[in-house]
Amino acid sequence: MDIFIFRKVKRMAQKEFRKPPRYMVGDIVYSHGFICIVCSIYPFNIDYSYDLKVIDGQSLGKICQNDIMHVHIWEEFLKKNGWTCYRSEGECFGHRWYKHQEYPFTLRYNNFLGIIGVSFNDGKDDTVMIKCVDELQHILFGLQLDSNLKI
């Protein structure tokens, strides 16, 4: 009886300490050589597994969170999704500022480091730094804007 109670308490403790999923449904990620979209999320032990669909429609099935990587933001991706460069400083080590007519923030792209500062006061101060497409999608989702982006 005592062993049964111990096991039940141990399982409850594992569930309580589960971190939130790293990705959300609709996130653009990279796995097994493909850029994919997260279709669904499943609890798996103390982690998560994700049902992924390749951009061309092929399903990869359930993939462990550790086998999924972020897709870094690149300038062509920003342009394809409606962002326009409105200011530039330096080519190799400089920055480029991007605006989108539907979004209330600007992006400052660091050419050298490949990181992006997100600013809500027209590029004066960065609120947060991001590098990956899913992080940009999470910001858009949090602002209740369309987070479905094109690859």
At 8, the amino acid letter reads: K
pLDDT digits (tens, 9 = 90+) for 62-84: 999 999 999 999 989 999 999 99
Q: Taking 60 as the threshold, does the pLDDT of residue 13 lie above it?
A: no
Highest mean pLDDT of the ranges 1-10, 60-69, 130-139: 130-139
Mean pLDDT of the chain: 86
| Bridge partners, 53 (sequence order) | 37, 59
- Please give the share of the chain, as a percent, with pLDDT higher than 70: 87
Alpha-carbon distance of 75 to 115, in angstroms, equals 11
Residue 76 CB burial class (10 angstroms; 0-12, 13-18, ≥19): exposed
Q: What is the pTM of this model?
A: 0.81
Q: Beta strand pairing status for 95-99 and 106-110?
A: antiparallel
Q: What is the pLDDT of residue 11?
A: 55
